[in-house]
Chains A and B, each alone.
Chain A
C-alpha cells in the first residue's frame, strides 16, 4: 500500500460523503456500546445461572483437568471450522454493491479499498471474543466454579479466539472465490494477501446475498434466508432416483437429497445421536437438572431438522404449478418418512450402546420414539408456518414478538418434551407421563397438519 493509494481512497471517501459529516466511527462504536451493556446486564447473570444449574461442584472438579481442556480446545476447533464454512457463504469483507461497482472494481489495490471493511469485522470479532470470555469468566467466578483470577485468562483467550475466528472467516471467503487461488499465491500469507485475492464477482455475489438476507430477516422471511444461504447441490449427480410407488418415491427422493448433501446428513446424525442420548440419560435420574433435557431437545430438534430438507422444499414450492400425483398433505406426510426412520434407527443404536454400558434401560427407547413423533409434528409446524402475520411488524410488537412467532415450533417441542421428561424422571409411574406426552404430541402433530392444509388452500 502506498501513500498515493491512501490519498486516493481518502478522496473517494470524501466524494461519497459529500457535505455530510463522517459518522463511520460512531456507527462502528455504537454496536460495541450496545454489546457491552448487554453483556453486563444480561450475559453475566445468565452465565452464572447456567453454571449454577450445571452442578457447580462437578464442574469445578472437571473443568480444569486435561479432559476439560481437551473438550474446550475441541469446541474451539469446531467453532473455527464452522466459521470457515460460513465465510464461503458470507465473509467478513462485504461492502455495499455501489462501493464494489465504483471503487473496488477500480485499479486501486484491493488491500486498500477493502481494508476498512476488514478492520471492522476483525475489530468486531476480537471485541466479541473478549466480551464472551469476560462474561464466561464472570459467570464462573460468581457461581464459585473458579476464582476471580479466571477473568484475565478468560478475556485474553476470548480475544485470541476472536482473532482466529476473523482470520478463518476471511480464509473461507477467499477459498469460495470462483477464480480460485492464483498460482503464485497461497494462504495463509497474511491478511493483506488474502484481501488482494478476493475477486469482484465473489464480492458482488456475497454483497447481493447480504442485501437479500438482510431484507428477508427484517421481513421475517426465513425461507428466503435459507434458500439464499444454501449451497446448490452438485454431488452424486450420476446417482438416479429409482422409480417406485407414489409414497416410497418421496422417501427415496429425500434419501437421494441427503446423499447429495452429505454434510447435512452427517450433521443431522451427530446431533440426533447426541440429542437422543441426552434425552435417555436425563430420564434415568430425578437429580438431573431441568436444563439437561432442554439442551438435549434443542440438539435433537436441530438434528431432526437437518433431515427435513425435502419437507421444507415441499412447503417452499406451494403456489406453483402442481405436477405430482399425490395430494398436498399426503406429500408432506411422505416427506416425514425419512427423518422419522433415521431418528428411530439412531435412537435404537444409541439406546443399545447406552444399555450395554448400563447407563439406561431399553425402555428409554420407547420414550425416544415418542419424542420422534413430537419432532415430526414440530417440523411440520416449522416448515409450513409461512410468513409472520402483519401484527408482528407493528410498532408495539418488535423483535421479541417476531422471535416468539418463529420459535413456536421449537417452544412446543421444549414445553412438551421437558415437562413430560421431568415428570417421568420424578414419578414412580413414568407410563402416565409417557401417555401425556403422546397426547400432547398428537396436538402438536394436529397443529402441523392444520398449517399444511392452510398452505394448501392458500396456494
Chain B
C-alpha cells in the first residue's frame, strides 16, 4: 500500500563493499563557482579527509557525493551508477551528516534512535539495546530521556552523530564532525570512527582538526579556494 520499502538489513552485518567516486566534479551556479573540479575515490574500509579553507567547496562536494546535489560538471558515482539520495541503493549505502539532521521536537534522544533503527527494518530484541549502546558509546547515555531542545551545543552535535551512527550504512559522510566538541570528545569520536573503519566502513570527512585528520585519514584531499 505504501510503495517501496528500503531493503531489510541483517542486524550487525559487516558493511557491504562499495566504491564512491567523484570524477572531475565541480559546481557552478550562474557565475558563482562553489567547487572547482576535483577527483575523489573512496573504497572499502578507507577514510578520505577533505581539507581546505572556508569557501573551498568541502560541503558542496560532500553534498554531491551524498546524492543531495547534482554537479554542474563531472560525474559522481556509487559503484558505477549515479549517486542520488532518492534511490534506495544510495540511501542504504550512505549515511550523511551534513548540517543538522531532522529531529522531532516531541521525541527524546533515545526515541529518535529507536525510530531511525526501526525504519531500517532492524526490529527484534536488540533494537532498544542498540540505541542505548550508541548513546553510551558517545557518553551521552545520561541524556537519553532529554528532548533535543534541552541539549547544549556540543551535546546536540554528539546527538546528531549518534543518529548517523545508529543507522546501518557502508559509507559515512561527515561534515566537520569535530565542531563544537571539546578535546576529550574529539578523541572519543576519533576512536569510534577508527573502530568503524576497522569494521569495514568507508568514510569521507571534511575536517579542520589536524590530530583527527592524522589519526583517521588514509588519503587527504586538499581543495583549492573556488
Contacts and interface: CB of A to CB of B under 8 A. Distances in A.
Nearest to A457: B86
Contact of B6 (A241, A309, A327): A327
B220 interface: no
A56 to B, nearest CB: 46
A249 B114 contact: yes
Interface residues of A, number: 44
A345 interface: no
B110 interface: yes
B85 A313 contact: no
Contacts of B6: 246, 325-327
Interface stretch (A256-264, A361-369, A409-417): A256-264
A309 B91 CA distance: 26
Given A246-B119, A321-B98, A321-B102, A253 B4 contact: no
B99 interface: yes
Given A233-B106, A327-B3, A249 B119 contact: yes
Contacts of B116: 323-325
Nearest to B108: A237
A323 B120 CA distance: 9
Interface in A291-320: 309-310, 313, 316-318, 320
B117 A261 contact: no
B128 interface: yes
Contacts of B85: 322
Nearest to B63: A321
Given A243-B128, A327-B4, A322 B118 contact: no
A287 interface: no
Nearest to B125: A243
Nearest to B120: A325
B223 to A, nearest CB: 21
Contacts of A234: 147
A164 B199 CA distance: 67
Contact of A233 (B88, B147, B164): B147
A324 B119 contact: yes
A330 B121 CA distance: 14
A240 B3 contact: no
B107 A257 contact: yes
A232 interface: yes
B84 to A, nearest CB: 11
Contact of B104 (A242, A253, A325, A327): A253
Contacts of B114: 240-243, 249
B39 interface: no
B111 A256 contact: yes
A246 B102 contact: no
Given A253-B115, A323-B95, A323-B167, A334 B106 contact: no
Contacts of A247: 2
Nearest to A249: B118
A264 B166 CA distance: 31
Interface string A325-339: 111111101100000
Given A237-B146, A241-B114, A244-B118, A309 B106 contact: yes
Interface in B71-119: 85-86, 88, 91, 95-108, 110-111, 114-119
Q: Most chain-B CB neighbours within 10 Å: which of A322, A456, A457?
A: A322
A299 B128 CA distance: 39
A320 B100 contact: yes
A374 to B, nearest CB: 19
B61 interface: no
A250 interface: yes
Contacts of A323: 95, 101-102, 116, 163-164, 167
B121 A325 contact: yes
Contact of B106 (A238, A245, A260): A260
Nearest to B148: A232
Q: Most chain-B CB neighbours within 10 Å: which of A243, A328, A456?
A: A243
B142 interface: no
A246 B91 CA distance: 15
Given A232-B149, A240-B128, A245-B118, A322 B102 contact: yes
A241 B106 CA distance: 11
B111 A238 contact: no
Nearest to B124: A243
A326 B163 contact: no
B86 A241 contact: no
Contacts of A260: 106
Contacts of B146: 237
B226 interface: no
28 contacts: A232-B149, A233-B105, A237-B147, A240-B128, A241-B110, A241-B111, A243-B122, A243-B128, A244-B118, A245-B121, A246-B5, A249-B118, A249-B119, A253-B111, A253-B115, A257-B104, A260-B106, A310-B104, A317-B104, A321-B97, A321-B164, A322-B101, A323-B102, A326-B119, A330-B2, A330-B4, A333-B1, A457-B86
Please give me the 4 A-B residue pairs with the lowest Cβ-Cβ distance, nearest first: A317-B102, A243-B127, A325-B120, A249-B118
Given A237-B108, A246-B5, A333-B1, 17 more contacts: A232-B149, A237-B145, A237-B146, A241-B111, A245-B121, A248-B118, A253-B104, A317-B102, A321-B101, A321-B164, A323-B116, A325-B119, A325-B120, A325-B121, A326-B6, A330-B4, A456-B86
Interface of B: 1-6, 66, 85-86, 88, 91, 95-108, 110-111, 114-124, 127-128, 145-147, 149, 163-164, 167
